[in-house]
Chain A
Amino acid sequence: MAQVSIIADEQTSLSSSKSITLRISRYNPKHDDSSIFTEFIIPYEKWTTVLDAILEVKKYFDHSVAVRYSCRQASCGSCGMMINGKPRLACFTKISELNSNVITVEPMNNFPIIRDLAVKFERMFESHHKIKPYLIRDDTELESDAKEFLQSPKEVEQYIQFANCIKCGLCNSACPTMATDSSFVGPQALAQAYRYVADSRDKGKDSRLKIIDESHGIWRCHFAGSCSQVCPKGVDPAMGIQLLRGYLLGFRS
């Protein structure tokens, strides 16, 4: 990977005695052979996030930096990227917590790059869609004379953790199987398969288990647990996948 340094230290809206070097990976697959790094000196405060710093760069130094973001509060799952070598949400990562004077941001691994820090989510969404992420049953609670599907708090606890998924893709980026296997369904989709299988209102367990019980399905997970370590919402995909596999192995019914 080639590297170029452009040190920019003009005045920004952030005024602080502390500053970091922000290294941003730049790459456009349409006309670049390899990525390069552009460096910026950015002042920061205790509360400044990596996304804030990137937006400072866009505002004052180089507006052409491509980055996807929206909510700025770890709810939309848009700003996932490699920050100092680990997949994290840029809006959920404060510069002060990284304990480093140099912050390197790169696009998430295992996702095709659109440009710079923006990656394509199509394949992850396809995998997500493949496991049928909705309740499967013959009746519906939407009809006027039907009652809602009641659940006890205990039944809700079985899946509510996995319903926190914001589809940011950090788990897929950290997964060692995804690093080499383009066809692997991935921890995001598998955790969502468990979310619906464990839902007492759902009747589609058998069809979902059939979908993931294939050569590039659940059996490619080797329980490295990296997906759970990077999840910003506490979903713990590794747990969901092992519990899901328990159904296929006969440990659960």
Chain B
Amino acid sequence: MPQDENKEGIGGMANPGRYGIERVAYWLMRLSGLGLLAYFVAHIYETSNILRGQVGWDELMEMTSTTEGHAILAIVIGMCVFHTVNGVRVMLGHGGVGVGKPTRPDYPYVPASQNYKHKIGIYSAIVLAAFAMMYGLAVMFGE
């Protein structure tokens, strides 16, 4: 990218530190979306192994039923729950639901669209994802 363009690029897009929890949610949404896409591709490959018969299937299950495999699955569970809950929040916001009403702004200009409803939605998505991951880990490692 030419310097003259001065675009922030992927690094600037992904930098979650400067603009509060909403930008963190934006970043996590992109990251979990890409993660779920990668899992979807891997999952299709995994399940297609059933065509190799019982032996092939068992071989693959043995490979994925490891500590690392369970840790990856726990992350997938977290990504799935966060992406779903935050996705519902974002979809409602996209329709104009919960983004506040236009009014005459007063200094110090706190943006109404960044209100507590959406913050609660974001924190709920993170907390639910964490609980789901813990539950998944308990099920996978609890046996």
User: Is there contact, CB below 8 Å, between A179 and B13?
Assistant: yes
> Contact check: which of A108, A159, A233, A245 meets B94 at CB < 8 Å?
A245
A228-B114, A243-B99 are contacts. A223–B93 as well, Cβ < 8 Å?
A: yes
Asked if B96 is at the interface (CB within 8 A of a chain A CB), the reply is yes
- State how many residues of chain B have any CB contact under 8 Å with chain A: 39
A119-B6, A180-B10, A239-B111 are contacts. A160–B26 as well, Cβ < 8 Å?
A: no
User: Is there contact, CB below 8 Å, between B7 and A179?
Assistant: yes
CA distance A233 to B20 in the complex (A): 19
Contact with A along B86-97 (1 / 0, CB 8 A): 000010011111
User: Is there contact, CB below 8 Å, between B7 and A176?
Assistant: no
User: Is there contact, CB below 8 Å, between A157 and B7?
Assistant: no
Contact with A along B1-39 (1 / 0, CB 8 A): 001111111101110001110110110010000000000
Return A37 CB to nearest CB of chain B, in Å: 15
Main secondary structure of the interface of A (DSSP, over half): loop
User: Is there contact, CB below 8 Å, between B12 and A179?
Assistant: yes
> Contact check: which of A108, A176, A177, A239 meets B99 at CB < 8 Å?
A239
User: Is there contact, CB below 8 Å, between A222 and B22?
Assistant: no
User: Is there contact, CB below 8 Å, between A245 and B109?
Assistant: no
Return B112 CB to nearest CB of chain A, in Å: 6
A225-B114, A239-B102 are contacts. A34–B3 as well, Cβ < 8 Å?
A: yes
Asked if B106 is at the interface (CB within 8 A of a chain A CB), the reply is yes
> Contact check: which of A159, A174, A177, A238 meets B102 at CB < 8 Å?
A159
Binding site for A on B (CB under 8 A): 3-10, 12-14, 18-20, 22-23, 25-26, 29, 90, 93-97, 99-100, 102-107, 109, 111-114, 118
